[in-house]
């Protein structure tokens, strides 16, 4: 600033005089002197000749407007800057305008616009080799991931951007990405990892005297310390955040400090004051949905704690309605899939309130409202009531009656979890062990299966403990031979309930007693019977035994045998078999897959943890392009299916990434969302030797008229009752049956 405040030499060009004022206005903005910055940039605009320099002036004006919270003004002036730079062919200025426009979209919580703008900026930056803009784009894309609830991906993006910023010497960006990396760690529950990010961010922000960044760091440290119940330390940051927000004169920037102040009052038992602050904030935050639903949710929580049930109901519903309105603004599956992570506390808080009020039936409706929404969106299924309102017409017993089944709905939570048992005649509610008990048992149980243990020969096993915790409370309502639908969540999505062992001397796998299907929600089950259409002409599409490139994927030695045996259960006119070079992604796209009752893949598959829609069935290369040989989950979504059953005879077909409300997302989920009624997917690596035996028995049962659940159970029992090694769960348990609509 001392350099920029000096006048340029007499006789300097108008361009030099204007550019000095552009830089000075930005410097003034960074230290919070917005009035002075506004005056300087208006002077620059009045002096500026027509041409590309105008784009720079408008870009600086946009930065000032963003900092002042004037997002409509920022959008207008930055769009003008973008248009000017396009006309003049200034690609760097286009990149800057796009980045600032993405920042506007993020602050207005228009996440998909922000992602499109940041992605376009990144492409331009790479084209012209601008490392600084590449770094900024990576950070902004991380911000989109964070705001849409994809915290693992946001953390990875922030760490990459922070490292790039440090290497480039861009301290201001380094502070941004450090702070946001801390936010991602916080959301994932690692408070110890979040704190150093915040503290380093505060230190660097103070070193460059950047008011906005210092404020952000104080706000985030305040939230963290309140979460750790260190009220005195939190108060220091709350007060400083409030002071800085008032100093900057930005009303939008004062909203988070106001929420912090209310939470501090609540933590100290000053409920009345906290509610007054939250009521004011709820009105002021109408343009910031994420803050509005936080205010509403905290109001509900305080009313609930004070036994004001009716007021708590009102505000819990409002918070969920606000959340759902924001969710409905998203259109891409990449955005909607992780978004529920932002609202988990809303649904969980309301569920717990209703349970505490001895209203478990209503609590079941609430928790089901949060499940399988992205799946239902893809199937174009309408909700029974307007989106965002808790369903009141859901009748679980009628669903169980129509399915001739018992439904077990779980909600896995710390300290205490919940189980609803639904039969055609009764409905029961149970409180069961918390996740700190259940999750380690699941992990140990899975570890033993993958180690090829014969679980029935073990005197004690986690499978018996899991049965006692998860099934025993419902046992009195479950008859031998029952059909069971499991609607689970969290770690339960990675558990095969068939492998649990019953108690007593004659302990056996639960699959011996019941037929199990995994379902995503009661809502989907409620319309399952109505939408299910059986093909009169039972046709099958079999794809597999592809030609793989050397040294990339191992040859599947028994794939040809499996394909031959599966196909043999259908007449020649009822089967389409694509193998070798014919088994390509393009061949699937051209197959009119929607006409088949059954679709069966025999191939390698990949499961992508970071981006599950990049999971793929690995097929033969395309004739025209040798690099195209994967059928991606995102491509599967584009073709409507009506199959009774899609079978993925491949490793990790169930997926690896667990999303709040959606469960495991991967290839199996993609086929369900495309319209398949049932999908069989594998949770881990499968044997190329035992799988053909299992699949032959499966399709033999289907050919005799069995439904997919009964057919898969029969096939598994044939292995369990065999004398060889295939009786172990390692060989039959990876395959799970998933039910769609």
Reduced to 3 states, what is the DSSP secondary structure of residue 213?
helix
Give residue 394's pLDDT band: very low, low, confident or very high (50, 70, 90): confident
pLDDT digits 0-9 by tens, 250-275 = 788 899 999 999 999 999 999 999 99
pLDDT for the residue 549: 78
pLDDT at 711 exceeding the cut of 70 = yes
Q: What is the pLDDT of residue 621?
A: 84
Q: Mean pLDDT across the chain, nearest whole number? A: 92
> Is a pLDDT exceeding 70 seen at residue 53?
yes
Question: Tell me: the pLDDT tens digits for 583-638?
Answer: 999 999 999 999 999 999 999 999 998 899 999 999 998 766 666 899 999 999 99
Structure-token pair, residue 534: 């059986």
Per-residue CA distances from 325 to 288, 290, 319, 506 (Å): 12, 11, 10, 53
Give SS3 for 684: coil
Low-confidence winner among 496-500, 533-537, 600-604, 643-647 (lowest mean pLDDT): 533-537
Residues 205-222: pLDDT tens digits?
999 988 889 999 999 999
CB 488 within 8 A of CB 517: no
pLDDT band (50, 70, 90) for residue 384: very low
Specify the DSSP element, H or E, that contains 340.
none
- Is residue 732 within 8 A of residue 690, CB to CB? The reply is yes
Residue environment code for 269-302, b if the CB has 16+ CB neighbours within 10 A, otherwise e: eeeeebbebbeebbebbeebbebbbbbbbbbbbb
Please spell the DSSP secondary structure of 348-402, one letter per residue: HHHHHHHHHTT-HHHHHHHHHHTSSHHHHHHTTPPPSS-TTS--S---HHHHHHH
Distances (CA, A) of 553 to 546, 577, 603, 620: 10, 22, 10, 11
Give the H or E element holding residue 310.
Answer: helix 309-328
Give me the pLDDT at residue 459, please. Answer: 80
Separation CA 9–CA 556 (nearest Å):
77
Least confident stretch, 4-8, 24-28, 550-554: 550-554
For residue 691, is pLDDT > 80?
yes
Give yes or no for residue 392 having a pLDDT over 60. no
Widest Cα–Cα separation across the chain: 100
pLDDT at position 476 over 90: yes
Return the closest-CA partner of residue 741 out of 486, 525, 484, 517. 525
Task: Classify residue 551 by its DSSP letter.
Answer: T
266-300 pLDDT, tens digit per residue, is 999 999 999 999 999 999 999 999 999 999 999 99
* pTM for the predicted model, two decimal places: 0.88
Q: Which two tokens stand for residue 45?
A: 């605009």
The Cα-based distances of 659 to 221, 344, 463, 520 in angstroms read 27, 11, 25, 12
Alpha-carbon distances, residue 381 vs 326, 362, 372, 517, 659 (angstroms): 19, 22, 11, 21, 20
pLDDT tens column, 136-180: 999 999 999 999 999 999 999 999 999 999 999 999 999 999 999
Residue 729 has pLDDT above 90, yes or no: yes
Give the angle 66-70-76 at the CA atoms, nearest 5°: 85
What does the alpha-carbon distance between residue 614 and residue 465 come to, in Å, rounded to a whole number? 36
Q: What CA–CA distance (Å, rounded) separates 728 from 457?
A: 11
Q: For residues 91 and 469, what is the distance between their CA atoms, to the nearest angstrom?
A: 62
Q: Residue 717's closest CA among 701, 739, 704?
A: 701
* pLDDT for res 387: 45
Report the pLDDT value the prediction gives residue 530, as an integer from 0 to 100. 43
pLDDT of residue 664: 93
pLDDT (0 to 100) of residue 161: 95
- What would the pLDDT profile of 312-371 be if each residue is shown by its tens digit? 999 999 999 999 999 999 989 989 999 999 999 999 999 999 999 999 999 999 999 999
88 — pLDDT class (breaks 50, 70, 90): very high
Q: Which domains does the chain possess?
A: 269-377 (no CATH), 396-529 (no CATH), 534-739 (3.40.50.1460)
542 in Cβ contact with 548 (< 8 Å): no
Closest to 45 measured CA to CA, from 74, 71, 14: 14
């Amino acid at each position: 600033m001392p350099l920029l405040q000096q006048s340029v030499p007499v006789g300097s060009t108008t361009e030099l005089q204007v550019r000095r004022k552009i830089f000075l206005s930005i410097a003034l903005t960074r230290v919070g002197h917005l009035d002075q910055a506004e005056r300087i940039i208006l002077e620059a605009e009045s002096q500026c000749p027509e041409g590309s320099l105008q784009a720079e002036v408008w870009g600086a004006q946009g930065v000032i407007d963003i900092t002042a919270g004037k997002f409509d003004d920022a959008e207008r002036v930055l769009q003008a800057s973008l248009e000017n730079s396009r006309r003049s062919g200034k690609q760097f200025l286009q990149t800057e305008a796009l980045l600032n426009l993405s920042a506007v979209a993020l602050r207005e919580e228009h996440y998909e616009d922000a992602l499109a703008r940041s992605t376009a900026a990144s492409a331009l930056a790479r084209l012209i080799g601008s490392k600084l803009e590449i770094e900024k784009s990576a950070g902004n894309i991380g911000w989109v991931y964070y705001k849409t609830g994809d915290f693992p991906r946001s953390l990875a993006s922030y760490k990459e951007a922070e490292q790039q910023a440090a290497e480039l010497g861009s301290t201001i960006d380094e502070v941004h990405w450090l702070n946001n990396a801390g936010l991602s760690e916080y959301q994932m529950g690692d408070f110890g990892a979040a704190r150093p990010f915040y503290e380093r961010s505060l230190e660097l922000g103070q070193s460059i005297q950047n008011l906005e960044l210092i404020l952000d760091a104080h706000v985030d440290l305040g939230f963290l310390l309140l979460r750790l119940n260190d009220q005195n330390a939190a108060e220091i940051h709350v007060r400083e955040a409030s002071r800085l927000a008032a100093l900057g004169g930005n009303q939008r920037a004062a909203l988070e400090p106001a929420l912090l102040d209310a939470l501090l009052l609540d933590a100290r038992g000053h409920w009345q004051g906290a509610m007054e602050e939250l009521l004011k904030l709820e009105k002021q935050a109408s343009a910031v949905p994420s803050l509005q639903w936080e205010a509403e949710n905290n109001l509900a929580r305080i009313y609930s704690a004070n036994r004001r049930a009716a007021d708590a109901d009102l505000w819990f519903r409002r918070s969920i309605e606000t959340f759902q309105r924001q969710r409905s603004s998203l259109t891409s599956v990449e955005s909607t899939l992780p978004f529920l992570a932002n609202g988990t506390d809303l649904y969980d808080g309301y569920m717990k309130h209703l349970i505490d009020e001895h209203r478990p039936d209503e609590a079941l409706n609430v928790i089901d409202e949060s499940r399988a929404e992205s799946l239902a969106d893809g199937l174009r299924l309408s909700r029974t009531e307007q989106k965002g309102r808790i369903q009141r017409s859901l009748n679980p017993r009628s669903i169980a009656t129509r399915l001739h089944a018992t439904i077990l709905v779980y909600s896995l939570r710390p300290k205490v979890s919940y189980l609803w048992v639904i039969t055609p005649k009764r409905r029961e509610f149970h409180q069961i062990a918390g996740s700190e008990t259940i999750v380690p048992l699941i992990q140990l149980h899975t570890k033993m299966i993958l180690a090829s243990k014969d679980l029935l020969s073990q005197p004690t096993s986690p499978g018996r403990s899991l049965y006692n915790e998860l099934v025993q409370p419902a046992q009195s309502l479950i008859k031998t031979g029952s059909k069971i639908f499991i609607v689970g969540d969290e770690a339960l999505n990675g558990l095969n309930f068939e492998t649990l062992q019953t108690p007593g001397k004659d302990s056996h796998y639960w699959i011996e007693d019941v037929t199990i299907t995994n379902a995503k929600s009661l809502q989907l089950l409620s319309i399952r019977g109505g939408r299910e259409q059986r093909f009169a002409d039972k046709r099958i599409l079999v794809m597999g035994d592809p030609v793989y490139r050397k040294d990339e994927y191992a040859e599947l030695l028994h794939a040809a045998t499996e394909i031959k045996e599966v196909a043999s259960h259908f007449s020649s006119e009822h089967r389409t078999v694509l193998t070798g070079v014919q088994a390509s992604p393009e061949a699937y796209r051209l197959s009119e897959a929607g006409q088949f009752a059954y679709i069966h893949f025999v191939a390698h598959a990949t499961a992508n943890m970071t981006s599950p829609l990049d999971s793929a069935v690995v097929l033969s290369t395309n004739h025209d392009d040798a690099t195209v040989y994967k059928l991606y989950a995102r491509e599967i979504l584009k073709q409507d299916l009506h199959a009774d059953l899609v079978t993925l005879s491949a490793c990790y077909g169930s997926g690896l990434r667990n999303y709040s409300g959606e469960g495991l997302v991967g290839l199996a989920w993609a086929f369900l969302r495309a319209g398949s009624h049932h999908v069989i997917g594998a949770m881990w690596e499968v044997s190329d030797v035992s799988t053909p035996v299992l699949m032959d028995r499966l399709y033999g049962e289907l050919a005799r008229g069995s439904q997919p659940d009964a057919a898969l159970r029969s096939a598994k029992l044939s292995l369990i009752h065999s004398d060889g090694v295939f009786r172990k769960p390692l060989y039959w348990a990876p395959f799970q049956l998933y039910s769609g609509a």
